[in-house]
Amino acid sequence: MAKKKALNTYQRLELQYPDYLTAVEALGTAVRHAGPLEEKVVQLIQLGAAAAIRSEGAVHSHARRALEAGATKEQIHHTLIALTSTIGFPTVVAAISWADDVMDK
């Protein structure tokens, strides 16, 4: 008998609060389409913000989304190392490690 894979937090929230998640996703779509920036640039900006707040899950998400939008591994790494003087070397190294979790799959 196949073992069921456990739901991640996002999936559980989606099941428990579908209207809430629909609204959050609609906000994200509106933000991405509010101006002239390309999707790849928006995702790299959000990746930098995720690193700044030390959110491993958000770094995973935005690294994956940046790749899907056409960013290269080098662009993702450059986005993160560009933050060194702002968020500090240890935080940048952690964020690179989290981004690599996604890129090395």
Per-residue pLDDT band for 2 (boundaries 50, 70, 90) equals low
Domain boundaries along the sequence of the chain: 38-103
pTM of the entire structure?
0.85
pLDDT at 44 over 60: yes
Helix (H) / strand (E) element for 14: namely helix 9-16
Tell me the pLDDT of the chain averaged across its residues.
94
Per-residue pLDDT band for 91 (boundaries 50, 70, 90) equals very high
Domain 38-103 -> CATH class: mainly alpha
Mean pLDDT score, 16-37:
94
User: Can you give the pLDDT at residue 41?
Assistant: 97
User: Can you give the pLDDT at residue 105?
Assistant: 83
pLDDT at 1 over 80: no
Burial of 68-95, coded b for 16+ CB within 10 Å and e otherwise, reads: ebebeeebbbebbeebeeebeeebbebb
User: Can you give the pLDDT at residue 32?
Assistant: 87
